[in-house]
Amino acid sequence: MLFLKYLLMWGGIAMIATAVGILAHDVWLRTRRRLAQAGGEAETLPPESRVRWRVSLALALLAWGPIFLALGIVVVPSGMAGVRVSQTSGTLPGTLYPGVHFVTPLAENVALFDTRDQLFTTGSLENGAAAGGSKRAEPMNVQAKEGLTLGLAITVRYRLDSRHLDYIQANLPQPVEKEIVPSVVASAWRELVPNYTVRDVFAAKREEVRKRASDVITQKLAADGIIVKEVMLRDIQLPPEYAKGLEDLLLKEQQDDQMSVDTDIQQKQVRIAELQAEATKAQQVKQAEGEAQVRVLQAKGEADAMQYTLPLKQKQIEQSKLEAEARKETTVKNAEAQAEAKVIDSKAEMQRRKLLSEAEADRIRVTAAADAERMQKEGTILKQNPLLINKIVAERLSDKLQIMMVPADGKFFFANDVLRSMNVANHTSQAEEPEDGQPK
Q: What is the pLDDT of residue 133?
A: 44
Instruction: For residues 114 and 132, give the distance between their C-alpha atoms in angstroms, rounded to a whole number.
Output: 15
Q: Is the pLDDT of residue 377 over 80?
A: yes
What are the structural domain ranges in the chain? 1-71, 118-238, 265-395
**Looking at residue 8, what is its pLDDT?**
66
pTM for the predicted model, two decimal places: 0.47
At residue 428, the pLDDT reads 58
**Alpha-carbon span 371 to 379, nearest angstrom:** 12
Using CA atoms, how far apart are residues 124 and 130, in angstroms rounded to an integer? 7
Mean pLDDT calculated for residue range 125-132: 44
Residue 137 has pLDDT above 50, yes or no: yes
Lowest mean pLDDT among 55-69, 156-170, 179-193, 403-417: 403-417
Q: What superfamily does domain 118-238 belong to in CATH?
A: Band 7 domain (3.30.479.30)
- Band (pLDDT 50/70/90 cuts) for residue 156 is very high
Residue 240: asked if its preceding bond is cis (omega within 30°), the reply is no
- Residue 206 binned pLDDT confidence (cut-offs 50, 70, 90): confident
Residues 393-409: pLDDT tens digits?
Answer: 666 665 655 555 555 55
- Average pLDDT for the chain: 78
Calculate what percentage of the chain has a pLDDT beyond 90: 7
Position 132 scores a pLDDT of: 45
Instruction: Give me the pLDDT at residue 31, please.
Output: 76
Q: Is the pLDDT of residue 127 over 60?
A: no
Q: DSSP state, 142?
A: E
Is 90 exceeded by the pLDDT of residue 157? yes
What number is the average pLDDT over the span 67-88? 81
Instruction: Give the integer Cα–Cα distance in Å for 234 and 250.
Output: 20
**Residue 410 binned pLDDT confidence (cut-offs 50, 70, 90):** low
Q: Which residues of 232-244 are buried (b: 16+ CB within 10 A; e: fewer)?
A: ebeebbbeeebee
Instruction: Write the pLDDT tens digit of every residue in 261-278.
Output: 888 898 889 989 889 988
pLDDT tens track for 166-203: 888 888 888 888 889 999 999 999 898 889 888 788 77
Alpha-carbon distance 119 to 110, whole Å? 25
Q: d(Cα 220, Cα 183) in Å, to the nearest integer?
A: 11
At residue 285, the pLDDT reads 87
pLDDT at 7: 64
How far apart CA 95 and CA 168 sit, in angstroms, is 11
Can you tell me the distance from the alpha carbon of 256 to that of 226, in angstroms, rounded to the nearest whole number? 46
Distance (Å, whole) CA 272 – CA 49: 124
Q: How confident is the model at residue 439 (pLDDT cuts 50, 70, 90)?
A: very low
Q: Does position 425 have pLDDT exceeding 60, yes or no?
A: no
